[in-house]
Structure 1
Amino acid sequence: MTLVNDAAPPAVQSTGRKFRAFTAKHLDELTSRAGLSSDQRLAIQAVATVLPFRTNSYVVDELIDWSAAPDDPIYRLVFPQEDMLPAADVSRIVDLLRKDAPKAEIDAVAHAVRVKLNPHPAGQMELNIPSFGDGVLPGVQHKYRETVLFFPKQGQTCHAYCTYCFRWAQFVGEPSLKMAGDDVARLCDYLVAHPDVTSVLFTGGDPMIMGEPVFRRYVEPLLELDQLESIRIGTKSLAYWPQKFVTDPDAYDMLRLFERVVAAGKNLAFMAHFSHPREMESPVVREAVRRIRDTGAIIRTQAPLIRSINDDPAVWESMWRTQLRMGMVPYYMFVERDTGPQDYFAVPLGRAYEIFRDAYKNVSGLARTVRGPSMSATPGKVCIDGVVEVAGEKVFVLRLLQCRDADLVNRPFFAKYDPEAVWLDDLRPAFADRFPFQAAPTGER
């Protein structure tokens, strides 16, 4: 570790201006830079009444190639597209915007569209929120035996929103759709009552939107729990605002907090979301990565496979090679989840496996720490291990990397091959009448 004395490290020149957020009110101005017509810009504004939009000066000025917009992959990562939603829904909202309808009327239509988009997939609200003491634990999810997710109340936004984000419901201003909590004492009591839990994952939103004093208030009590082996931070900050760890006012203090976690004997896993190689090109990203690694934290990388953005094995090979050179650990390729604009971004599972395989075969064993393509579905994380022919039938070979029923972890099973399938629910069992995680029909023993 290098940040062991009390002297702050020397300043590093930022590659971008001071943080400035852009929201839906800036959409018309920004999308005009992409050469879109007024009708196209209005349609995008209509989509932004349903799905959240937020970006910042670093993304706009440093990452987007405006000469290639609207086809530029980073542009598509953060800016809504008019065909992300059903045409009829977009047209209805466009009509309301054109006639300057009351906000309440527009909000009501937007809400109705959101409800159809499966805002909380994989039983997040019904199955994952635990009861404890005299009620449920706000902001806590406990899906797998050894891991608890915590959504800090102050971390319920991001430096910029990804258009594919499966947490989009956190950002649309509807309290009934949001998960958030701030009672860390009650969280600790829950962990002590469940000694099998060895890992806490801070998620959101993005926990790294918080300043160091606030984040420290959540982290410090966890350092006293011997049962915890690891603390994880799920974040897109390295891609969208690496200045957080280099030139922001509390950068040094945040890094010192990371050191304290490691010194307390916990594995600090910094779960970095990188969706495209360009997000790792800036010198400030490389400096941020170096500083985080110097604290003793391990940076693991993950991202979903997204149509029109990174659905190319060369893109993933480039990402994994770059991450390895920078000292990061490739961790997951996810399948785009069954929520929000899934139809816009989804890649068929057969093609997803081909992309993963073709990238995986071209990297060294050190980068083959990555797993995927993985679906974070209701029963658990289902990985596609292959497409093979068994007994004359073409099938997917599947495996649960994580499961609500721990006894099913790492046991292979099969699904009939379907070239159109994009999610677990599209698949049918092969060589069996049900998948291992499905209950037997009533009356069957």
Structure 2
Amino acid sequence: MITSTDNSDRPYKVFTERNIDSIEQFRQLPEAMQFDIKVVASVMPFRVNEYVINELIDWNNIPADPIFRLMFPQKEMLKAADFNFMAELHRAAESRDTIKKAAKEIQLGMNPHPAGQQVMNSPMLEGEPVEGMQHKYRETALYFPSQGQTCHSYCTFCFRWAQFIGDSELKMASTDAATMHAYLKAHTEITDLLFTGGDPLVMKTKILKAYLEPLLEPEFDHIRHIRIGSKTLTFWPYRFTQDDDAEELMALFKKIADSGKHLAFMAHFDHYAELKTDVCKEAIKRIRATGANIRAQAPLTRHINDDASVWVKNWKTQLSLGIIPYYFFVARDTGAKHYFEIPLARAYSIYQEAITQMSGLGRTVRGPSMSAGPGKVEITGVAEVNGEKVFVLRFLQGRNPDWCYKPFFAQYDEAATWLDDLKPAFGEEKFFYEDEYKTMCQARGL
């Protein structure tokens, strides 16, 4: 076991909408900007900790700093009419209940569960839904432990923001590890378990063990790959170096890797600035020393990383630290979509410009990829076929595995930002998967 060289005693201190005024740097911002942030934070989840504030945000570059935009809600993240309505409530000093009720109406119009994740992906066991679990693709199941349904900080674009707004009807979570284990035993086609949230690494290691250690028993031999989806390397790398159970966490990672299963740490780096601190680099070394692999993914988001040079530096920095660049996502159609979205044509152009500057080791990144209702759809190119300009697409994952890696074509559209905006090319009435997908939706009552 590697011993941490960080002997500092950094307490974890978090700030939310309720105590945002206690952030010293926030109080130095113009009053109008402070007001705007507070208004949006009463609608969209806001949470940030002292490490992010002091180590990652460049307060001399506000509001342009990408980490600031990643963490602090901006006025334009609400539609103008919604912002003005909420601003009037704040100016009138309305009660928290009144503001919360108004915010909920706006939230429900923001597509809180994109791609049918709350209904289409919910598995059944003995005729009952398995709470806190999704099984969208044959080989892969996702699990949402209730103890991990928060994060050390909240990204402003998060496609799971509905988990954090205090509405139990919108949450996907479970405290029942036994039900998860029973479902996995009953479905030997599942080879990959993605432990996700929120962020499961907000949990204490002893709780994490109760979920993961039983998977090392012989009855789970079909589970070959355990993935942990986490942004903790960005938001609280001390989790791996100085927290009181950091050594226990590293020992758990090593135990899983030594068992012969593949432990994949699914990191999330939106910008190379997140990788700059010494404690983050040390945390990466410690995770890799356990035998776990670290793969990195992130969405392309306007105002934060919509520049090929940012991605080149991000991927090259990851490679230098032994991280495998993995997914280049299109921002999900949820939350403040209008603020973050980028046309698919530009997304592909940014990806192509960036990927061609990478060596072979860096060309592991797949994208631009849309995690849409039918599956993960990748834009593989823009081409001209028989005089028609088209997007060339394929499924990387599909609700029907037979859909995967078969090229299909959509009309080129400069304005399209999501799969639903695209139309089939060459005069076709529908994409090849649409009838089957419609039948799947109908079977789920949609």
> Do Structure 1 and Structure 2 share a fold, with TM-score over 0.5?
yes
Correspondent of 1:9 among 3, 19, 32: 3
**3-state SS of paired residue (2:107):** helix
TM-aligned CA distance change 1:108 to 1:303, over 3 Å: same
Q: Does 1:295 align with 2:261?
A: no
Name the structure 1 match of 2:433: 437
Correspondent of 2:215 among 222, 241, 250: 222
Question: Is the 1:31–1:41 Cα contact (8 Å) retained in structure 2?
Answer: no
1:90 CA drift (Å): 1.2
Name the structure 2 match of 1:234: 229
1:39 CA drift (Å): 3.3
1:117 CA drift (Å): 0.1
Q: 1:335-346 alignment to 2 at 5 Å?
A: 335-346=330-341
Q: 1:21-170 alignment to 2 at 5 Å?
A: 21-30=14-23, 33=26, 36-170=29-163
Q: For structure 1, list consecutive stretches of 5 or more residues without a partner in the other structure.
A: none
Name the structure 2 match of 1:385: 380
Deviations, residues 274-332 of structure 1 (Å, cap 9, x unaligned)? 00001111111111111100000000000000111101111111111111111110000
Q: Counterpart of 1:9 in structure 2: which amino acid?
A: T
**3-state SS of paired residue (2:389):** strand
1:127 CA drift (Å): 0.3
Distance 1:313 1:39 in 2: 32
Per mean C-alpha deviation after superposition, the further-off stretch among 147-156 and 20-29 is 20-29
Q: Counterpart of 2:430 in structure 1: which amino acid?
A: R
Distance 2:98 2:190 in 1: 45
Name the structure 1 match of 2:181: 188
Deviations, residues 18-49 of structure 1 (Å, cap 9, x unaligned)? 21101112334549648543333222212111
Q: Does 1:399 align with 2:379?
A: no
Deviations, residues 214-270 of structure 1 (Å, cap 9, x unaligned)? 111111112221110100000000011111101111111100000111122210000
**3-state SS of paired residue (1:260):** helix
Name the structure 2 match of 1:267: 262
Q: Does 1:199 align with 2:192?
A: yes
Question: Is the 1:17–1:57 Cα contact (8 Å) retained in structure 2?
Answer: no
Distance 1:440 1:322 in 2: 42
Distance 2:280 2:195 in 1: 21
Correspondent of 2:274 among 276, 279, 298: 279
Distance 1:28 1:358 in 2: 41
Name the structure 2 match of 1:258: 253
Distance 1:332 1:191 in 2: 26
Question: Is the 1:34–1:66 Cα contact (8 Å) retained in structure 2?
Answer: no
TM-aligned CA distance change 1:400 to 1:291, over 3 Å: same
Correspondent of 2:319 among 324, 342, 356: 324
Q: For structure 2, list consecutive stretches of 5 or more residues without a partner in the other structure.
A: 439-446
**3-state SS of paired residue (1:411):** coil
Q: Counterpart of 2:417 in structure 1: which amino acid?
A: V
Q: Does 1:358 align with 2:342?
A: no
Distance 1:356 1:391 in 2: 25
**Identical-residue share of aligned pairs (%):** 51
TM-score (norm 2): 0.95
Distance 2:424 2:268 in 1: 32
Deviations, residues 381-439 of structure 1 (Å, cap 9, x unaligned)? 00010111111111100010000011010111011011111111111011222112201
Q: Counterpart of 1:317 in structure 2: which amino acid?
A: V
Deviations, residues 90-129 of structure 1 (Å, cap 9, x unaligned)? 1111111122212222111111000100000000111001
Distance 2:184 2:286 in 1: 31
**3-state SS of paired residue (1:352):** helix
TM-aligned CA distance change 1:11 to 1:132, over 3 Å: same
Correspondent of 1:375 among 370, 393, 397: 370
Correspondent of 1:176 among 169, 175, 197: 169
Distance 2:436 2:395 in 1: 19
Per mean C-alpha deviation after superposition, the further-off stretch among 20-29 and 312-321 is 20-29
1:334 CA drift (Å): 0.4
Distance 1:124 1:438 in 2: 18
Question: Is the 2:27–2:34 Cα contact (8 Å) retained in structure 1?
Answer: no
TM-score (norm 1): 0.95
Distance 1:165 1:376 in 2: 13
**3-state SS of paired residue (1:398):** strand
Question: Is the 1:130–1:136 Cα contact (8 Å) retained in structure 2?
Answer: yes
Q: How many residues align?
A: 435
**3-state SS of paired residue (2:114):** coil
Distance 2:26 2:134 in 1: 41
Distance 1:188 1:28 in 2: 44
